[in-house]
Structure 1
Amino acid sequence: MAEEQTVSLVDVLEENEELEEEASAVLAGSDSDLCSYPQGYVKRQALYACSTCTPAGGEPAGVCLACSYKCHEGHDLFELYTKRNFRCDCGNRKFTELQCKLFLEKDELNSQNKYSQNFFGVYCTCSRPYPDPDDQHLGVGVPDSVELQEMICESCMNNNSFLWTYSAHLSVPGAAVEVKEETNPNVPKEEEKGDDVMEPSCKRSREEAEPGCRLKELQEIGQKRVHSGAVFWPSAWRSKLCSCNTCKERLSAAGLSFLLDESDTVLAYENKGKSSEQTRQGPDPLMSALDNLNRVQQLEIIHGYNDMKTELKDFLQRFAAEGKVSFRLKDLCWDYWEFNNNLSCPVL
């Protein structure tokens, strides 16, 4: 007879802590009470798209974290994770039958916002939902590396071809084959063909690069990689990009100045959220309570937790079957209470 699988109380608490950290990483860096509209085009924030108010075929729109709670409670929302330089659209002209409850004086449109297919629930170059039941990939296997921090899709790499030069030297290995370019000793180095430093619209050649330009130095090494598939980057890779005046101008012309900003990364945003959450939290009341329980009482808590976990898993399968990836805790608790009506809802 197989031995019954047991879960320690430490395992339970560690799993709960991991879930809280994941939520804090995305949400704690944004204000859950006040609309972000008065802040203008926020550097980075958690965003949602409401398919109830702006369905497919209409104009795309995004709402901040606070508005997703206060103005769109109970609606079908697409989680957009975080986006940069965005101003909350809630209640503007795109929402014909909804007025923002948190900030009334808003312009009809936010002209500097950028939209994509994400606002209608499809993602990536394959235009698939997330989570994707067909498990589509990015044209390349995801490398198994603890260094992995950021990803740039093949389309964006091709639109900014200078990134392929950096990828041959800075990206996480294993995602694509790297090859050494063979140079012809009979051809002067300045006549050798290399990657364009930037897209043609910038109209600057390699020879115009400043002395000591790191990008030019990498190009002259001649090491390349296959121009195919998404590219994965390790932590601190941005700090190794060239920041000479010429490269700064080129990045600005391409709208990529944020690549030189270490605080722009998702990791920096997440760390800010975690730090803010830890500052707000005091001592863990659960840990304090457990210190006063004996062994038998702790085991009873573990068994109760496991029973609830099994029932909740069955319940959540309903959401997976309907393709929903976003819901409110209050709605979840109420539906769960109806699903298993011998429980009382703790948050209603």
Structure 2
Amino acid sequence: MTEEQTVSLVDVLEEDEELEEEASAVLGGSDSDHCSYPQGYVKRQALYACNTCTPKGGEAAGVCLACSYKCHEGHDLFELYTKRNFRCDCGNKKFRDLQCKLYPEKDDSNSLNTYSHNFFGLYCTCSRPYPDPDDQEEDEMIQCVICEDWLHGRHLGCPVPDCVELQEMICEACMTRNPLLWAYAPHLDVPGAEVQVKEEAGGSKTNRLQKTEKADDVIRPTCKRRREEAELEPSCKLKALQATGRTGDQSGAAFWPSGWRSKLCTCGACKERLSEGGVAFLLDESDTVLAYENKGKNQEMQPAGHDPLMSALDNLNRVQQLEIIHGYNDMKSELKDFLQRFAAEGKVVTSDDIRQFFEQQQSRKRRRVDAQQLYRP
């Protein structure tokens, strides 16, 4: 007879809260009832790939949140987190016999969609599934903000900085495809910033002031002639950074701090280069996953429609409503006290413990009913 698997109460509560927050962030910004196809290429949305309908060896395809619920229930789905500028494929020619239940009038294909091995359940430069049953090494996976692939921390070619969840990562392959980003990296990426702080911390107050003034001189002309030149022709932040001669090691992924996109140059030439490289979205602060998640959380916090339970309560008289409310509050308070005892003693809660709690509740309720009948005039 095997022993019943148990976990600590603290672990259960923490995991439940974390899963709820993640679900609200990822799914809250997407519509769970209506196919997103009529909206065209949605700026960012939660996506899924169906291994049942489009297995490896066929054409890659992605479906929106609503279609994953309504059209692919019970199928083997790969959760893709979020993707940008994607139009739902559900029911088009890639799906053969399946027709979309929510929006069947679709074109045969969506030519502007971008696909990767993620749509077949493979990730990183190692092209492995996640979770990987053959990988015994614990390692976090981080999404590149350009190609949107997920990479193992050990395959990034550089150390993963602290507070990585507050930063954006661009993988080495995407940095190489967009070489102008290497010019920004020594000035904006997180490892470079940390090195600069450490260097300045060892110097005197005067040295730190001189370094600040020198950095400002690079961005803003200090002599009269350079001011006049700046007025005559549009300033280019990228050229100013390149003029410093400061270069970093052009290898490995780059990590960028919050707000780094606002520091990219927006002159005409730089915008054109970003557009040619297919990364013009880097100038858009609302393109970030963080902005999408915040939108989802805000939508989750908005008041929902009328609760059926509240409708039922409305049909009861005042005395019945108070009895139900008091009963619910009593049970919630007693359950909380019951569970807190386990947490305080570091014990685990088993199914037998929960069953015993509700049996005690039923027993108390019966005693209250019997007492009321006994003393009823």
TM-score in terms of structure 1 length: 0.70
Report the residue type matching 2:79 in the other structure.
Answer: E
C-alpha contact (below 8 Å) 1:35/1:102 kept by paired residues? yes
Mind listing any 5+ residue stretches in structure 2 that lack a counterpart?
Answer: 1-6, 140-151, 200-232, 310-325, 354-377
Q: 1:295 to 1:62 in 2, by over 3 A?
A: closer
SS at match of 2:157: coil
Match of 1:104 in 2: 104
TM-superposed CA distance for 1:281, in Å, is 5.0
Could you give the per-residue CA deviations for residues 243-299 of structure 1, whole angstroms, max 9, x where no partner exists?
Answer: 1111111111111110100000000000000000011459999xx988535865424
SS at match of 1:94: helix
Alignment partner of 2:239 out of 192, 216, 221: 216
Q: 1:307 to 1:228 in 2, by over 3 A?
A: farther
Report the residue type matching 1:62 in the other structure.
Answer: G
Alignment partner of 1:265 out of 274, 288, 291: 288
* RMSD over equivalenced CA pairs, Å: 3.4
SS at match of 2:49: strand
Q: Distance in 1 between matches of 2:348 and 2:62?
A: 37
Q: 1:161 to 1:104 in 2, by over 3 A?
A: same
C-alpha contact (below 8 Å) 2:187/2:193 kept by paired residues? no
C-alpha contact (below 8 Å) 1:290/1:298 kept by paired residues? no
Could you give the per-residue CA deviations for residues 138-159 of structure 1, whole angstroms, max 9, x where no partner exists?
Answer: 2222111367321111000001
TM-score in terms of structure 2 length: 0.65
Q: Distance in 2 between matches of 1:214 and 1:266?
A: 26
Match of 1:53 in 2: 53
Matched, 1:28 2:71: no
142-151 or 242-251, which deviates more: 142-151
Match of 2:146 in 1: none
Superposed counterparts of 1:163-174, under 5 Å? 163-173=181-191
Could you give the per-residue CA deviations for residues 51-80 of structure 1, whole angstroms, max 9, x where no partner exists?
Answer: 110010100000000000111111111111
Match of 1:307 in 2: 350
C-alpha contact (below 8 Å) 1:150/1:232 kept by paired residues? yes
Matched, 1:156 2:199: no
Match of 2:336 in 1: 298
Larger Rg: 2
Q: 1:7 to 1:283 in 2, by over 3 A?
A: farther
Match of 1:88 in 2: 88
C-alpha contact (below 8 Å) 1:176/1:225 kept by paired residues? no
C-alpha contact (below 8 Å) 2:46/2:65 kept by paired residues? yes
Could you give the per-residue CA deviations for residues 202-247 of structure 1, whole angstroms, max 9, x where no partner exists?
Answer: xxxxxxxx64200111111122221121111111110111111111
Q: 1:176 to 1:122 in 2, by over 3 A?
A: farther
Q: Distance in 1 between matches of 2:185 and 2:327?
A: 51
Q: Distance in 1 between matches of 2:74 and 2:332?
A: 42
- Misfit runs of 4+, over 4 Å: 5-8, 11-15, 174-178, 281-285, 288-291, 293-296, 301-305
Q: Distance in 2 between matches of 1:96 and 1:175?
A: 52
Q: Distance in 1 between matches of 2:128 and 2:327?
A: 45
- Which is richer in helix? 2
Match of 1:140 in 2: 158
Q: 1:220 to 1:291 in 2, by over 3 A?
A: farther
Residue correspondences, number: 273
C-alpha contact (below 8 Å) 1:176/1:226 kept by paired residues? no
Q: 1:299 to 1:234 in 2, by over 3 A?
A: same
TM-superposed CA distance for 1:124, in Å, is 2.0
Q: 1:271 to 1:75 in 2, by over 3 A?
A: same
Q: 1:235 to 1:175 in 2, by over 3 A?
A: closer
Mind listing any 5+ residue stretches in structure 1 that lack a counterpart?
Answer: 181-209, 311-348
Report the residue type matching 1:154 in the other structure.
Answer: E
Match of 1:18 in 2: 18
C-alpha contact (below 8 Å) 1:147/1:235 kept by paired residues? no
Q: Distance in 2 between matches of 1:47 and 1:294?
A: 37
TM-superposed CA distance for 1:21, in Å, is 1.3
SS at match of 1:141: coil
TM-superposed CA distance for 1:300, in Å, is 3.2
Match of 1:241 in 2: 264
C-alpha contact (below 8 Å) 1:49/1:77 kept by paired residues? yes
Match of 2:249 in 1: 226
Q: Distance in 2 between matches of 1:147 and 1:107?
A: 38
Q: 1:131 to 1:6 in 2, by over 3 A?
A: closer
